[in-house]
Homo-oligomer: A and B are copies of this chain.
């Protein structure tokens, strides 16, 4: 596995792979890899000739009072994981490579970024789309892999790729959970054992919502209220939002019909956790 730290080297590596008619798979990450990330890596390894994983904690997607400075990192462990998986390149851009002095250009998706996570994190999606577009231009992948844990982010990236006529295929991969139901996330690392217990309420509430829907409940208000009740069982949980909405335009629904996204963001201790599932009503 090659570790590349400069944009020029990364571009040269990709250009060579392309000239050799190889298909390029790409998994962008912020490091501190867990099984969720690795499921994307394995899918890319299975589908593409070569796989590039980037590891870059993108300052542009953090707000002023967020956890940029404390975001967990484990570079050696990440490297070993990717090496044993058989990844071809770990792209770990050095400081100043991505946003050099005088940097001025940003990519924004309107509308869908103003909802859900966009309300409490107004610059988050702009940071994500900007860095993802840059990474796509640098790596020039055929396919890029993202997890449905960040459902809204995925919809935003799909919109950008379509609107800007980019040639990369976005591959959606399912959210992975720990054995007790907690959605896998690098930020779970922030939780002490009592907070981790509270965090289980998120997946428990979503499971309840799925069961209610399966049993015929069609009122979004009722399901939302019950989710809220479950989350509020813990005094440590501060709800950011709970939504039942269209999975693509994020408009709130009143009556469940077809596929509805149930999504929530909850702050527990210093961790802002998100989780989601699809409610299927027929």
Contacts and interface: CB of A to CB of B under 8 A. Distances in A.
Interface of A: 7, 11, 103-112, 129, 133-134, 137-138, 159-160, 163-167
A189 to B, nearest CB: 31
Contacts of A167: 11, 137
6 contacts: A11-B167, A104-B159, A105-B129, A108-B108, A137-B166, A137-B167
Contacts of A108: 105-108
Contact of A164 (B111, B112, B137, B163): B137
Given A7-B165, A104-B159, 16 more contacts: A11-B167, A103-B163, A104-B110, A104-B112, A105-B109, A105-B110, A105-B160, A105-B164, A106-B108, A107-B107, A107-B108, A134-B164, A134-B165, A137-B164, A137-B166, A137-B167
- Nearest first, the 5 A-B pairs at minimum CB distance are A105-B163, A137-B165, A104-B110, A105-B109, A105-B160
Contacts of A163: 103-105, 134
A160 B134 CA distance: 11
A165 B163 CA distance: 18
A133 B7 CA distance: 20
Contacts of A166: 137
